[in-house]
Amino acid sequence: MGNKPNIAIAHLGCDKNRIDTEHMLGLLVEAGYGVDANEELADYVIVNTCSFIQQSRQESVQTLVELAEAKKKIVIAGCMAQHYKEELLDALPEAVAVVGTGDYQNIVEIVERVEDGERVRAVSANPTFIADRQIPRYRTTTEGVAYLRIAEGCDYKCSFCIIPNLRGKQRSRPIESIVAEAQQLAEQGVQELVLISQITTNYGKDIYGKPELGKLLRALGEVDVPWIRMHYAYPTGLTPEVVSAIQETPNILPYLDLPLQHSHPDILRAMNRPWQGQVNDEIVERLKQAIPNGVWRTTFIVGFPGETESHFNHLCDFVERHQFDHVGAFAFSPEEEALASTLPNPVPDSIKEERRDRIMEIQQPISRRRNQAEIGKTVDVLIEGTFPDTGDLIGRSARFAPEVDGTVYVQGQGQSEPLGNLISVTITSADDYDLYGRQAES
């Protein structure tokens, strides 16, 4: 290894960012660099930043400032590097490089240039890279879970979003490349693959001339992984072909993450959502009839410019009516490069926060009832942690996605279960977000 420096990576942001982090770690380890989880002991700290909304930018800035105060040499990667590529090196003397969202695959060369005394700005104006070949990856998730990116970038122009500016246009990976990586992860013992992209249901449109998510799901059905879960599935892209693939492929979980964002046609048009003013009731009911065993997650933005009390009440009624298993609600955050930041009739912050709280108050008893319906069932649970003092186990059933949904707590077993295993658990109780049970008799 010689005298190569030690490098730590501080990961911020979404699961797509996580995969970039894992590839950078893999490339650095392959090149012989020491990778240290302790930032204090590292010679360089790569901060993989998020710049999606104001709150995430603040977290990124705080991390950078703390590292600068600790006199660390900082490599700024990710969405903030892409967003503020011209300003960051000037604003932060401790920064030795900025690395864009389409340039992380060059991290080894970038570090070598820094070691030679160069301050590096490696940010492609229009990100085009997609890892459609096997490049090294050092996973940072628990033993049993891995994220699998099927595409990068976005072609839509939602008025509140700057992702196309930060990540570029949609770039899908070929089915063969995705399946090969899935098989590799299965050989490592992964029990759950989470498929991610900006718009999962648009997968393949750019390389095959039409969306081919259904074909991809059926191909992944041949991989020996018990659970395959989709995130970011636009409801209009859940075509009969995709629905059939979900229902007919045993390892594809009927877990539907639908980023609806609102229910009122006026607000959807102002958001420039792909389905514009279509009535979501019709879309959701059609899907629920097609996938009666589905677990339903969605997210909403409240306080969008022009959202009246009437618009918000429409959303509250929508949440009550459709009884989603899981709901996330976010207060609108104006982004200076997004069209929505220029729209009239902004909603005061205090009202945004109040509306977000009201949506979650409506959802809590719904989530509790949906969880209580699991009591008495015996379900598979992926074990992800333990309480050493009690022997209790921590995991997730198929109805819970990693990090965003609930947890299953399993009573002490008297013997340790290897992490990353699926075990059978009988559910004995439930609350708003979590389930509780005991290991089923074998």
Structure token pair of residue 280: 């979501």
Report the SS3 class of residue 296: strand
316 annotated as a binding-site residue = no
Q: Percent helix, strand, coil in the chain (nearest 5)? A: 35, 25, 40
List the one residue out of 269, 268, 248 whose CA is nearest residue 260: 268
For the chain, give the number of residues: 442
Render the burial of 82-96: b for 16+ CB within 10 Å, e for the rest. bbbbeebbeebebbb
What DSSP designation does 210 have?
Answer: S
Q: How many angstroms separate the CA atoms of 122 and 102, rounded?
A: 9
Q: Most distant CA pair in the chain: distance in Å?
A: 66
79 annotated as a binding-site residue = yes
Structure token pair of residue 167: 């990540």
Render the burial of 283-299: b for 16+ CB within 10 Å, e for the rest. bbeebeeebeebbbbbb
376 Rama sector, left if φ>0, alpha if ψ -120 to 50, beta otherwise: left
Tell me how crowded residue 338 is: count the other CB atoms within 10 A of its CB.
18
Q: At what angle do helices 15-30 and 107-115 cross, to 10 degrees?
A: 60
Annotated binding-site ranges for [4Fe-4S] cluster = 14, 50, 79, 154, 158, 161
Annotated binding-site ranges = 14, 50, 79, 154, 158, 161
